[in-house]
Amino acid sequence: MQGLLHDKVAIITGAGSGVGRAAALLFAEHGAKVVAADIDHEAVEAVAGEVVKAGGSAIAVECNVTDMAAVDAMVRAAVDAYGRLDVMYNNAGITTQPGQTFMDATDADMQKLTAVNLGGVLHGCQSAIRQFEAQGGGGAIVITASVAGLIGFGGVLYGSSKGAVTSLTRGLALEVAPRGIRVNSVCPAAMPTNFGGGVLKASEAARQHTAGYHPLGRVIAPEECASAALFLASDLASNITGVNLPVDGGLSAGKPMSR
């Protein structure tokens, strides 16, 4: 059986760690030619190396998604290496310091978070759509939003940036649908990655405590988020657009009556 992304060219931002790394390995396993991009050059070189070692195809690109020129250069690098672009996975994101409240946030915190979590996605979408249109239309955009973009969870500043992204997903899906371009997001709950200082990755106690918020009773593996992104990027989702898909163990479904 051919993979779900057989011969498709896929850019993944934030591919040096966590969900992005898991997606790079999974997309390549499914036949994609992967452009693994990250602000952390060493990390993303290592991930591209892992993909190639596993028999896949990947290049590493250093890219700060807050910089539109760098994002355009990333898309050009994909086209130079593989001739086209089929999938743009805008996954890079950051959060605030653990425990930081909205009223603790400085203006610099607000600017930085918004520049990466919203600005980086806006840049990635615009640059990819230009390339999709130059190819004659078609193409899939996937975004890593968050359950914090669907319900109040995980901090006000972070949640507001992800809420903007879930709104962007719906609005942009409508705008580009006539050109056959699909736009969807995955909305994960808590995952043990390097995110937010890597607290969940480092501490079993923190994982157990956080698991309690999820009706299915455990935190989300980055591979589970990458699987949902693979589905949305692939032709299995060929008539799905404008969807913000929770990967949250039931967290956004509501509060159980007894537990």
Ligand X SMILES: NC(=O)c1ccc[n+]([C@@H]2O[C@H](COP(=O)([O-])OP(=O)(O)OC[C@H]3O[C@@H](n4cnc5c(N)ncnc54)[C@H](O)[C@@H]3O)[C@@H](O)[C@H]2O)c1
d(CA 104, CA 81): 44
CB neighbour burial string for 139-165, b if at least 16 within 10 angstroms, e if fewer: bbbbbbbbbbbbbebbbebbbbbbbbb
Tell me: does residue 38 bind ligand X (CB under 6 A): yes
Q: Which of 194, 206, 215, 240 binds ligand X (CB under 6 A)?
A: 194
Tell me: does residue 193 bind ligand X (CB under 6 A): yes
Looking at residues 6 to 25 of the shown chain, list those that interact with ligand X (rule: CB under 6 A): 13-14, 16-20
CB nearer to ligand X: pick between 102 and 177: 102
Asked if residue 33 lies in contact with residue 10, where contact means CB atoms within 8 angstroms, the answer is yes
H runs (alpha helix) in the chain = 18-29, 41-53, 68-82, 107-114, 120-134, 156-176, 199-202, 204-211, 222-233
Tell me: does residue 91 bind ligand X (CB under 6 A): yes
Radius of gyration of the chain, Cα coordinates, nearest whole angstrom: 17
Catalytic residue among 82, 89, 158, 213: 158
Instruction: Tell me whether residue 158 is one of the annotated catalytic residues.
Output: yes
Tell me: does residue 191 bind ligand X (CB under 6 A): yes
Tell me: does residue 166 bind ligand X (CB under 6 A): no
Tell me: does residue 116 bind ligand X (CB under 6 A): yes
Helix, strand, coil abundance in the chain, percent, nearest 5: 50, 15, 35
Tell me: does residue 96 bind ligand X (CB under 6 A): no
Q: Which stretch binds ligand X (CB under 6 A): 26-34, 168-176, 186-194, 250-258?
A: 186-194
Question: 3-state class of 31 per DSSP?
Answer: coil
CB nearer to ligand X: pick between 15 and 173: 15
Q: Which of 190, 228, 245, 251 binds ligand X (CB under 6 A)?
A: 190
Which residues form the interface with ligand X (CB under 6 A)? 13-14, 16-20, 38-40, 43, 63-66, 91-94, 116, 120, 144, 146, 188, 190-191, 193-195, 222
The residues that are catalytic are 158
